[in-house]
Amino acid sequence: MSSTSIGQLMADMRQLVINLQTRERATDSALAKSQIVNDKICGMKEYQEEVAGMNDCWRMQGRKVLVAGLQHENRQILQLQQENRELRQALEDCENTLQLVMQKHRDVITKLAKQFIPSFRTSVAQNSKKCEGHMNEKIVNLSRLLNECLADGESVSNHDQELIARLATENACLRELLNISTHNETDIARHFIDLTSGGIPNYSNGPKTGCNKNCEQSNTSTLAGNSLLHSNEDVRQNSVLLKVSDTTIKKNAISHAQGRKQCGK
């Protein structure tokens, strides 16, 4: 009896718990529904308040004026929408026409490029070849002129060197002759002065002894004077040659400088 009663009590208790849970769920749902209804009631109250406010505005301004203003605004909105559609259509038309124009422009540019670029390239190549030919001709002319100037300068310098060497040898020979004559005959200058003045030579070796001696001395003096005259004449000729050689050297130097200036140009 006790075990059955305890099992029955446990089953009853379980059933009561289940019933309580279901009732709790029902109350929760009822509370939620009541909250929703309450929210709806609050919204309806707000709506009624707003409607009452609008009715107050209508009563204050007049319903006809409000309706007229709304209609005017509606017409303006419709006009703006139509204008917007027209502007969009015009923009699309402009874009299409611009695309066509740019396509035509690209076609024309490609045609012109195909027509003129090869001819332009050929003309540029021809002009470059002509310029290269002119430059080569100028370079050849300048090199030829430079070679001519160098050859002329070498010939002039060789001639000048030969002339200088020849004059140096002549000068050395003349100096040797003058040194030999002065060493051999120390009184030759005095004898020559006496002969040119027309007087009788005065000898430093001793007094006069006779006519034969005088004749012999006069003959020797005349011979010495003649040799001195010849030597003086040779000296004069050599001095003239030296002067002429100096002038020729100066002329050759001037011509050589002019040739160098022409080569530099």
Is 36 domain-assigned? yes
Same domain, 55 and 152: no
| Residues with Cβ within 8 Å of residue 160, at least 6 apart in sequence | 249, 252, 253, 256
pLDDT tens by residue, 93-108? 999 999 999 999 998 8
In a domain, 47, yes or no: yes
Q: Which of 38, 61, 84 is the last residue of a domain?
A: 61
Among 14, 35, 61, the domain boundary falls at 61
Enclosing domain of residue 41: 2-61
pTM here is 0.26
Q: Are residues 241 and 138 in contact, defined by beta-carbon separation less than 8 angstroms?
A: no
Is position 90 within any domain? no
Q: What is the pLDDT of residues 174-219, one digit of tens each?
A: 888 877 766 666 565 566 566 656 544 444 444 344 334 444 444 4
Residues 6+ apart with CB under 8 A from 181: 188, 227, 228, 231
The residue out of 43, 61, 79 marking a domain boundary is: 61
Q: Is residue 191 part of a domain?
A: yes
Residue 127, domain member (yes or no):
no
In a domain, 93, yes or no: no
192: its two tokens: 């020559």
Residue 206 lies in a domain: yes
Total domains, the chain: 2
